[in-house]
Amino acid sequence: MRGFGKYALYVYAVITFVFLLIPIAYTVAFSFNDARRTNIIWRGFTFDNWLSVCDSPNVCESFSNSILVAVVATVMATTLGTMIAIALVRYRFKFRSATTLLLFLPMATPEVVLGAGLAAQFLAAGVQKGLVTVIIAHTMFCVSFVVVTVRARVATLDPALEEAGRDLYASPAQVFWRITFPLLIPGIIAAALLSFALSFDDFIITNFNAGAAVTFPRYVYTAAARGIPAEANVIASAVFFLAIAAVLISQIGGALKRRKLARA
């Protein structure tokens, strides 16, 4: 019976991995499809899509819009979220618990509610929808994820390290930049990567607040009715390969660092 359970677990794991990898494999395969107007039926293998990725209308423009929004929203959310996380852990102030609750609300609220609420506020304020409103919206919901991630890192820091810096007559700014900030870098990087992924991938909130601006998820959604262009599959595949490369570099770098420490 134990052998059967182990075998069933392996089968379940394989089925799960196949289920997760099929959409990725389909996207990569059809990025090489010799498609014309539609990219639903396989018509043959070609590298032309990779060599002329920007020939399809709006593909590169929508991708660059998504990159711009994600980068700006990530920088803003990471900066604000890091400061808020430090304040929540290190300082005692009125309504601290209420502030924490409010910061967690965007994570628990459905995106359609957030998107509609923000769209109504922009409309009431007379703000024209576009990339700026999308950046504001993405910053708002990404801040919560940054606070959660960085707060966990701040909570693990030893306050004695900062106290030692103060005992050596370091100013508050010197204590932060030379002691606190370097120790927070892993958490900040993790929060920034999470924010970038959430912003780049978002469709619902973007669709409510983008107006005429087109991001890559909106472009893919609109194009899906007639078959996603092969060029869009090329960009999606390239992003996937870059993510794999980043993970491999991180793993290799970590392994080399551990080996170096072991030899020391």
Q: Could you tell me which residues are beta bridge partners of residue 228?
A: none
Asked whether residue 248 is assigned to any structural domain, the reply reads no
Question: Predicted confidence band at 107 (pLDDT cuts at 50, 70, 90)?
Answer: confident
CA–CA separation, 137 and 118 (whole Å) = 7
In a shared domain, residues 211 and 156: yes
Percent of the chain with pLDDT over 90: 32
In a shared domain, residues 84 and 25: no
In a shared domain, residues 37 and 125: no
Percent of the chain with pLDDT over 70: 96
Give the domain extent around 198: 57-228
CA–CA separation, 121 and 119 (whole Å) = 5
Q: Give the tokens for residue 25.
A: 């494999």
In a shared domain, residues 67 and 181: yes
Asked whether residue 75 is assigned to any structural domain, the reply reads yes
Q: Give the tokens for residue 68.
A: 């711009």
In a shared domain, residues 26 and 124: no
Structure confidence by residue, pLDDT tens digits, 63-90? 999 999 999 999 999 999 999 999 888 8
Asked whether residue 253 is assigned to any structural domain, the reply reads no
In a shared domain, residues 102 and 200: yes
CA–CA separation, 122 and 211 (whole Å) = 11
Structure confidence by residue, pLDDT tens digits, 180-218? 888 899 899 999 999 999 999 899 999 999 988 999 999
Are 53 and 235 spatial neighbours (Cβ–Cβ below 8 Å)? yes
In a shared domain, residues 109 and 222: yes
Asked whether residue 246 is assigned to any structural domain, the reply reads no
221-248: average pLDDT: 82
Number of domains in the chain: 2
Region of 33 on the Ramachandran plot (φ > 0 left; ψ -120 to 50 alpha; else beta): beta
What CATH number is attached to the domain comprising 138? 1.10.3720.10
First to last CA, the chain: 48
Asked whether residue 39 is assigned to any structural domain, the reply reads yes
State which amino acid sits at residue 29: A
In a shared domain, residues 69 and 43: no
In a shared domain, residues 215 and 193: yes
Are 73 and 195 spatial neighbours (Cβ–Cβ below 8 Å)? yes
Q: Is the pLDDT of residue 1 over 60?
A: no
Asked whether residue 129 is assigned to any structural domain, the reply reads yes
Asked whether residue 262 is assigned to any structural domain, the reply reads no
CA–CA separation, 237 and 53 (whole Å) = 12
Q: What is the pLDDT of residue 264?
A: 64
In a shared domain, residues 94 and 211: yes
Asked whether residue 261 is assigned to any structural domain, the reply reads no
Q: What is the pLDDT of residue 79?
A: 95
In a shared domain, residues 7 and 78: no
- Closest-CA residue to 30 (of 237, 243, 198, 188): 237
In a shared domain, residues 21 and 88: no
Helix axes 181-201 and 59-90, enclosed angle (nearest 10) = 140
